[in-house]
Chains A and B, each alone.
Chain A
Amino acid sequence: MIQRNHSDDRLLQQYLDRSMSPEELDSFEARLCHEPELAERLITFASDDLVLAEWGASLEREQQQAVSAVSTTHPVSGQIFNRANRTVVVSGMASIFSVFLLLGGYLLFQSVLSSPRVNTQERVVFSSGEPVENHIKQTLNEGSAELHFPTGAKVLISAPASYEVTGNNSMHLQQGSFIANVPSSGIGFQVDTPHGRVIDLGTLFSVQTVEKLDTRVQVYRGKVIASLMNRAGGVQSSKQLSEHQSATINSTKNEIEEADDSLSLAEKCGILHLSDSVVLQESMPDALATGKYQVFEHDGLAFVFPERTQVSLKSDLELVTQPAETRSKKRAGVITAGTNVDCYRIYYDPAQKEGAYIPVLGEIHFDRPILGVILDRKVLTQTDRLFHPLCRNDSNRLFIHQGTETDTGGKDPKARYDEVKISPDRRTLSFMLLSGERFVDEFRVIVRSPQ
């Protein structure tokens, strides 16, 4: 028979849950200092809490995977819905969604029964679920590929690239670039390149390798350790990189160089300041540029991509110049022909919560006047020939856009999911985008080109 003091159990849990009164707290902490067995039980309780938290998170992931796995068999799957049709879609999906939930619950129940492991996948898979064999060289000639590691790390690789998975939390990038999102469960995620090694410490970072040149590492969130490797495969020197820092591992010069950090990159792009919720990327990945989406999925984090610069307008361009206004006449404006403009795409695609809408609040301060924004999906498509990077060589290419839900013309203010504002001095763009797992928000910002 196992004897336990249930009263102490309750106190221990209340202590961890921070639900004690100040008097109870003082008294209990005094007991912890003088009763070693009680302190040990607190550690055990805290350890159980960690396991339960990981288990809870894994159940959530399983539910999402089960629902999305089932939904891929449905004809409407794979599409990103226009939120204008959400009401119809939601009501149409309601009945089958309940079936998904039941089936998802069943799959979850089965998988929980069959395995006591926290991780739902034991090997690295592509985002499609297809497994990736370890130590097999993969070549990506076009588009992008997203790898999901069992530790929770997600890596989006852009073509052209050559890489191989070397373990459950490691990979080798011979050539190409990727952006990695590594949660705390994936701390220690390791990337080897021909020039060095990057060890992640829970972060969002990117790696770009040119096989015969160098490896560039850029950190957006958290920390990584970048190392220069010697010919014997040992670590020669290391550098810790924090948020907004970047470095180049140069094996020819035999050093890790401080590279232009992302703020300098921002300055090159005419951006003086970005709020913490906005990440600037030098170029748009093909998957996103071609409208496939489902990449760069991050809750509460928006991306900004420079699309094209020094575009000389051959005719007047109609767009939204006063996005905070509700009346369409007041919102609309024109940039006159002959003006040189730069174009940026703002992109937000949350991933975690099926059925939930997750906001992101962002601010971007430009060093030049913001002439206007393009928020509507149709106008985005119409202006692709001017601004889309892939239309540079073929202006007739067509791409699907999602746009935002700010421009309802004031007819139905309740339908305004998103908010975009330009400051009175027209240098600061601020936005609140509300989106969900199956939706994307995106819009263009048009800024006057430097003289």
Chain B
Amino acid sequence: MSTDMDTQSEAAQLLLQYKAPLYAYIHASVRNRSDADDIFQEVSVAVVESFSKLESEAGFFPWAREIAFRRVLAFYRNYDREKPVNPQLIAVLAEATERVEQKQPVSNRREKLLECLDRLPEVSRKLIARCYDNSGQSLGVIAAQSGLKVTAFYARVHRIRAILRECIAQRLLEDSVE
């Protein structure tokens, strides 16, 4: 492992490299982007601070994922949530994240998803963009603003997401055949 020289830079670079799977795990665990942002920041601090303890760069992701696991549990412990979290679920998701990253790095899927977004009809692309425009508005509010009934809006968004997933799967399959 490296000496102290540029240790923090390395930690920051590895964090950027594995941001997607780490964030996906946190997001799947807390299901709120704002909370996920906060926890990811805490994980980043912990990773940079204790990076020198890591023996091998190859072990970065499982190590950082373990930190994220503990931070997610701490998040649920520290806040008075309506429903206590099932630690087994958080652990199961952590293991699932590692398997997903081993099978197919999230970065590959990300690339395909962006390609598939390009292929969407413009109307669909605008609708999905509206759902993810950082306004923090719920789908119900966006549906109301779009003049659609909530159920119809959900159905449409669900259909677009399904098309995107099919497209990603198809492209990943094509890559594996090639």
Contacts and interface: CB of A to CB of B under 8 A. Distances in A.
Interface of A: 2, 4, 6, 9-10, 13, 15-19, 22, 25, 29, 32-33, 36, 39-40, 42-53, 55-57, 59-60, 109, 112-113, 116-118, 169, 184, 187-188, 190, 197, 199, 201-202, 222-223, 225, 227, 232-236, 238, 240
Decide if the interface of chain A is mainly helix, strand, loop or mixed: helix
B31 A199 contact: no
B87 to A, nearest CB: 10
Given A40-B99, A44-B109, A56-B129, A227 B28 contact: no
In which size bucket is the chain B interface? 35 or more
Contacts of A235: 4-8
Contact of B12 (A32, A36, A199): A199
B122 A109 contact: yes
B118 interface: yes
Contacts of B128: 52, 56
Contact of A50 (B23, B48, B118, B131): B23
Contact of A188 (B15, B31, B32): B15
B109 A60 contact: no
B31 to A, nearest CB: 5
A46 B113 contact: no
B41 A222 contact: yes
A48 B20 CA distance: 9
B118 A46 contact: no
Interface in B4-20: 4-9, 12-13, 15-16, 19-20
B70 interface: no
A383 B45 CA distance: 46
B44 A202 contact: yes
B32 A47 contact: no
A304 B135 CA distance: 27
B92 A36 contact: yes
Interface stretch (B55-63, B73-81, B163-171): B163-171
B67 interface: no
B107 to A, nearest CB: 10
Given A2-B166, A40-B99, A227-B8, A52 B16 contact: no
B4 A117 contact: no
A16 to B, nearest CB: 6
Contacts of B44: 187-188, 201-202
A222 B118 CA distance: 35
Contacts of B20: 47, 50-51
B149 interface: no
B162 interface: yes
B27 A6 contact: no
Nearest to B99: A40
A184 B49 contact: no
B10 to A, nearest CB: 10
Contact of B118 (A13, A60, A116): A116
Contact of B132 (A40, A44, A55): A55
B114 interface: yes
